[in-house]
Amino acid sequence: QSVLTQPPSVSAAAGQKVTISCSGSSSNIGNNYVSWYQQLPGTAPKLLIYDNSQRPSGIPDRFSGSKSGTSATLGITGLQTGDEADYYCGTWDRSLNAGVFGGGTTLTVL
Amino acid sequence: QVQLVESGGGVVRPGRSLRLSCAAFGFTFGDYGMHWVRQAPGKGLEWVAVVRYDGSDIYYADSVKGRFSISRDNSKNTLYLQMNSLRAEDTAVYYCARDLRGWFGEFSADYWGQGALVTVSS
């Protein structure tokens, strides 16, 4: 059981937009920055979004992040088949004094 | 460019120990916090431990507290994870990951190694 809650899977057609939610609590998302990671099959995770909404250099602006209260959202526009991957949200939990991840969301591009 | 290379993985019997290393290249290692994150086969990511840039602060996941120890040698640009009293449920790919900053109570990892597989089995 993950501390952060994500939908197990989402899907959308190529060229469309999809959003992935991440729900937590005041001890984690509510008071800490959220980051998002993409994990392509058989590879290490890659940072997509940090500090709730910032993109590292090299990450296209098709990827966006937002946070409201104790929830965060990853948005992906102009979906491509290469976006098919597992996506994880992560943050620090002040009660646990530990890093925490969501359970991961598998994106399928139809 | 930034590169993290893990080593030391392998097959180990339950109750035994193993030490992972993570060699860092392409950045000033002593300026950044470092994390270990693991992923059991077919499962999601699990954060394991963090060490501040200067080693002054360390935290562990409850699942490994008292059995695992994270450390760093800034003179050797190397991060370590000493794993004792290993259990079957510790079987996973272990990634070292660089914190976005020196680590001051947030969690964002901007660079990850390729991972080291640890299999705990009799």
Q: Which pLDDT belongs to residue B102? A: 77
DSSP string, B72-114: EETTTTEEEEEE-S--GGG-EEEEEEEESSS-SS---EEEE--
Q: Which pLDDT belongs to residue A29? A: 97
Q: Which stretches of chain A score pLDDT less than 50? A: none
Across the range B26-43, mean pLDDT stands at 97
Q: Which pLDDT belongs to residue A102? A: 98
Q: Provide the 8-state DSSP code for A55.
A: P
Whether B108 sits inside 8 A of A96 (CB atoms) is no
Residue B103 has pLDDT above 90, yes or no: no
Give the span between the Cα atoms of A8 and A45, in whole angstroms: 17
- Contact list in A for residue B97 (CB cut-off 8 A) is 45
List pLDDT tens digits, range A34-50.
Answer: 999 999 999 999 999 99
Our CA-based measurement puts residue A94 at a distance from the nearest CA of chain B, in whole angstroms, of 8
Optimal mutation site among A59, A92, A95, A100, interface B, most CBs of chain B within 10 A: A92
